[in-house]
Amino acid sequence: MAPRPGPAQEPGSARCSTLVIAGVAGTGLTALAVVFTAFGGLSSAPWLAAVARGTIVAVPIAVGLYAWCRPPYERFGRMLVAVGAGWSLAALAGSTNSLLYSTGRVVAWVVEVAFVWLVLAFPRGRLTGRWDRVLVIGFAGLVLATYVPTALLADTYPAPSPWSECRANCPGNAFQIVDTQPGFVVHELRAVRESLTIVVFLGVAFVLAARIRSATRLTRLALTPVLVVAVARLVVYAVGFAVRRADPDSPPLEAFQWTIALLIPAMAIAFLIGLLRWQLFTADALQRLARELHQHPDTEQLRVALARTLGDPALQIAFWKGEATGCWVDCGGERVDVGTVESGRSVTVVYDGDKRVAALVHDAALDDEPGIVEAAGNLAAIALDNQQLLSRVRASLRAVQDSRARMAASADEERRRIERDLHDGAQQRLVALRIKLELAEELLPQDPHRGRELLHEIGDETIEALEDVRSLAHGVYPALLTQRGLAEALRDAAMRSPIPVRVDACHVGRYSPETESAVYFCCLEAMQNAAKHAPDATMIAIALSDDGRLRFEVTDDGAGFDVATTPTGTGIANMRDRLEAIGGELIYGSGVGEGTRVAGILSSSASRRV
């Protein structure tokens, strides 16, 4: 059992190829960032700075590739790889070439917007809240309105920056389109954009904090490391902006800028920690759930176990009662409507193939965690399957016990009948024969003629006694069935029926004694039932066939009866017991004025010819 599958995933081979290409490209971009920083000529410690820039690019790409490998986080992984690639272009700001330097500085602004988007979209790669979209759109507008225009108006870019260690020796702005830099660009515009940037970062921190406060434990585990790094970056950004405005030549300023830059791989590591904590918690929770479900809990215990696993005490389970009723019921059997759940709740339907099995009504916050919900739903479906199998096994055991009891009672009754028939029939004849033999012994010396007549009578009665014994043996197990098989035995039985019987047994051979006996006596029982309960019938038809499984059908054209209101008699129970004992199945049906049909299908093993 499984929740209904979603859209087809990217084939495994194609995904591996894409990841390899992305990995190679990421390695190349990391090398590009290292080269531009080491040989750019703007850093006082070029190789140390090159290692730092390479780390800033490589870590997000590596974490992104890791997330890309895991379908629940695939979209986020691709975004993180793209942002890492963007940071590699920002490393162009380490070059003394004014065009490369200016390109790197502008790209850094744009990638910062994507980075904020990434933080708010973690871990699914989608903006789910209204404030998430407001912050991303607002920050994009801020960059377009206050950062990008300075690339066209300013002589130089603010220095130092997280992407360039230059101070007085920075290259000029290659994108400037005016001869003289307006005064407001240096003072008012920079102050406004830096203040608004801090506001955006503060908003990101508040959104993450609010999400953690209202989320499930699983979401808190994933988001807490991200929130910690986001708050740290906010504080360092604010302090760095303040220090740069107060004293651009302050010695600690470069340390602040490097801290801002290095918090980028720190954020990527926070993403990784969040994903790992998510996966470890999910695995542990599902393992605990599997152990609890191993005890075959009832529906209420199943609900409590799922609620504990998903961290939602109000979780409910609804069970689908089938297309015939078209309704859901809760653990108590009460009808529920999963189509109209209250605000803040959501529904996940569990499927077995295309068949609905159950529905989980849970906290809407778990919609961000479909993996664990689906996995828990799978385990719940398996538990329900096990419950149904256990119920069927118990019902089968009860049926077997009842069948054995009926067969034992039937065997006892048959034994008593045989004893009665022997006592009332053959035994009485044999006692009479013994008496007549004693009389013949006395008459032979005195009246030889009468003695010989008596001996002739004894001979005739001996033949009759033999016929009685043969008839008795025939009633237990017909000799013709043993010698000639089903078709001939049934034709012989049909000749003795008070109602005409037509036997159609083409292409039916010999089978095991148990199989032939079960089918023969079932057909015999059906014929006797027709003679007893449908004396108005004009014809009984017996059909035997073998299509890999031996089948039989006995029909009559009598008055019939209402199956729904007529209790099952011992004849039907005996036939069912005979067939089930060898793995067969009995089917019967009737209707008022429609006659009666009794049919049986034997298992393939019982249908094996001999």
The pLDDT tens digits for 322-338 are: 665 667 777 666 777 77
Q: What percent of the chain has pLDDT over 90?
A: 10
The 10 Å Cβ neighbour count of residue 224 is 17
Residue 293 has pLDDT above 60, yes or no: yes
Same domain, 524 and 538: yes
Mean pLDDT of 440-463: 76
> Where is the domain boundary, 233, 250, 283?
283
Residue 294 has pLDDT above 80, yes or no: no
How confident is the model at residue 5, as a pLDDT? 46
Cα 435 from Cα 445, distance rounded (Å): 17
Cα 263 from Cα 226, distance rounded (Å): 11
Strand partners, 359: 318, 349
Contact 25, 371 (CB under 8 A): no
Cα 159 from Cα 42, distance rounded (Å): 12
Q: Sign of the CA dihedral 553, 558, 564, 565?
A: negative
Same domain, 77 and 189: yes
Cα 330 from Cα 318, distance rounded (Å): 5
Contacts of range 95-98, beta carbons closer than 8 Å, 24 or more positions apart: 95/36, 95/40, 95/41, 95/42, 95/171, 96/40, 96/41, 96/42, 96/171, 97/171, 98/171, 98/172, 98/173, 98/174
Query: Residue 607 falls within a domain, yes or no?
Result: no
Which residue range is the domain that position 343 belongs to? 297-394
> Where is the domain boundary, 342, 371, 394?
394
How confident is the model at residue 470, as a pLDDT? 67
Query: Residue 155 falls within a domain, yes or no?
Result: yes
Same domain, 211 and 104: yes
Same domain, 149 and 215: yes
Residues in contact with 350: Cβ distance below 8 Å, sequence separation at least 6, in sequence order: 1, 2, 3, 356, 357, 358, 359, 360, 377, 378, 380, 381
Same domain, 381 and 301: yes
Same domain, 49 and 125: yes
How confident is the model at residue 136, as a pLDDT? 92
**Which of 525, 561, 559 has its CA nearest to residue 542?**
525
In the chain, the number of structural domains is 4
How confident is the model at residue 58, as a pLDDT? 92
Same domain, 41 and 128: yes
The CATH number of residue 487's host domain is 3.30.565.10
The residue written with tokens 């590596």 in the block is 62
Query: Residue 290 falls within a domain, yes or no?
Result: no
Mean pLDDT of 372-395: 70
Query: Residue 606 falls within a domain, yes or no?
Result: no
Residue 539's pLDDT band (cuts 50, 70, 90): very high
Residue 552 has pLDDT above 90, yes or no: yes
Whole-model pTM: value is 0.58
Average pLDDT, the chain: 79
**CA 34 distance to own-chain centroid:** 48
Same domain, 437 and 572: no
What distances in angstroms separate CA 521 from CA 342, 489, 524, 590, one per listed residue?
Answer: 62, 10, 5, 20
Query: Residue 609 falls within a domain, yes or no?
Result: no
Residue 370's pLDDT band (cuts 50, 70, 90): low
Residue 159 has pLDDT above 90, yes or no: no
Same domain, 333 and 383: yes
Q: Sign of the CA dihedral 464, 468, 473, 479?
A: positive
Same domain, 34 and 128: yes
How confident is the model at residue 186, as a pLDDT? 65
The CATH number of residue 421's host domain is 1.20.5
Query: Residue 10 falls within a domain, yes or no?
Result: no
Query: Residue 132 falls within a domain, yes or no?
Result: yes
Across 406-420, 522-536, 572-586, least confident range: 406-420
Cα 525 from Cα 510, distance rounded (Å): 21
Digit-coded pLDDT (tens) for 248-274: 777 787 888 888 888 899 999 998 988
Same domain, 256 and 352: no
Residue 44's pLDDT band (cuts 50, 70, 90): confident
Query: Residue 134 falls within a domain, yes or no?
Result: yes
Q: What are phi and psi of 41, to 5 degrees?
A: 90, 5
> Where is the domain boundary, 335, 359, 394?
394
Strand partners, 351: 356
Same domain, 374 and 439: no
